[in-house]
Amino acid sequence: MYLAQLYKPILKWVKPVSRTVLVWSGEAIQCLQDCCTDWDLCKNICEDLDDLTEAVSSYVTFCENLVIPQRSFLAYPDNKPLFCKTVQNTIIQQNKYFNQGDITLYNDQRKKVRKDFKLAKRNYKDKVQNLFREGNSHSAGEGMKAMMGTQSKQGPISFSGMSHLVLSNALNCFYNCFDVHDFSQEISVFKNYHQQNSVYIDRSMVLKLFMGIKETKSPGPGGVGCRVLKRCAVQLSDIFCFIFIRSLQLCKVPVLWKSSITFPVPKN
């Protein structure tokens, strides 16, 4: 009689996912900054505000994809932040000796895996402690969860007295209300206020705003990443200041910045 365990490791029923990330180096950032210097051509050719915003956003995204190198890797479901490159290479070498049937080298490599793994855990612990000293409590808390192996458990959202169909229709009506509402009265009030009270925006204000952006935030509808805005703040502050002033003068927001991606709510 053969007994098979009911529990299956996550590696056996979840396939690894191929991911692509951008490798931000000092040389790549310098090349990207050199690409985003001359904006006089866009100012002279694009008379329409929407065309100008589209051209600037598309060019910045094109330069980012062209200059910043990419790296692809396989993300396994049991990966942890403390699994550094050294530990991964040691485990790969251990599996290689096991497949070759070399018991002596395999046992030596197992000892090296345990040694490298202890060193990696110690280094990751020091990294989390430094985050606590720097006052970055959020990242330090995430590091503690990774070390303990805990996962955030979020239960399903329940609304008492409301069926799934009614809730779905209510959510759809709420997120689509901006397309049917007439904002002509609000726009006229804003135009009158803008004519009576001038709003002052200069390059230094935009530069300060870009320098304070968090790099980990997701990009906006224009597709320009927050890391690009912060690293190239000096080069991009001039053209974006020009777009902001033009938008206030025309009392109009570019269509690209008003676009959004809407995920439909499934209904029963």
For the chain, the domains span 19-78+184-258, 83-146
pLDDT digits (tens, 9 = 90+) for 100-132: 888 888 899 999 989 988 898 888 889 888 988
pLDDT digits (tens, 9 = 90+) for 129-158: 898 888 888 888 888 887 776 766 555 555
Q: What is the pLDDT of residue 241?
A: 92
Q: What is the C-alpha to C-alpha distance for residues 116 and 86, in angstroms, rounded to an integer?
A: 7
DSSP code of residue 18:
E
Token pair for residue 259? 């676009």
Q: What is the C-alpha to C-alpha distance for residues 187 and 251, in angstroms, rounded to an integer?
A: 8
DSSP 127-164: HHHHHHHHT-HHHHHHHHHHHHT-----PPP--TT--H
Q: What is the pLDDT of residue 234?
A: 92
> Running along the chain, 268 residues long, what does each successive block of 10 average in pLDDT?
70 81 89 87 85 91 91 78 80 88 89 89 88 84 78 58 74 69 76 74 91 86 88 92 88 83 61
Q: What is the C-alpha to C-alpha distance for residues 105 and 42, in angstroms, rounded to an integer?
A: 63
Q: Is 110 exposed, middle or buried, given 0-12, 13-18 or 19+ CB atoms closer than 10 A?
A: middle
Whether this prediction's pTM lies above 0.85 is answered by no
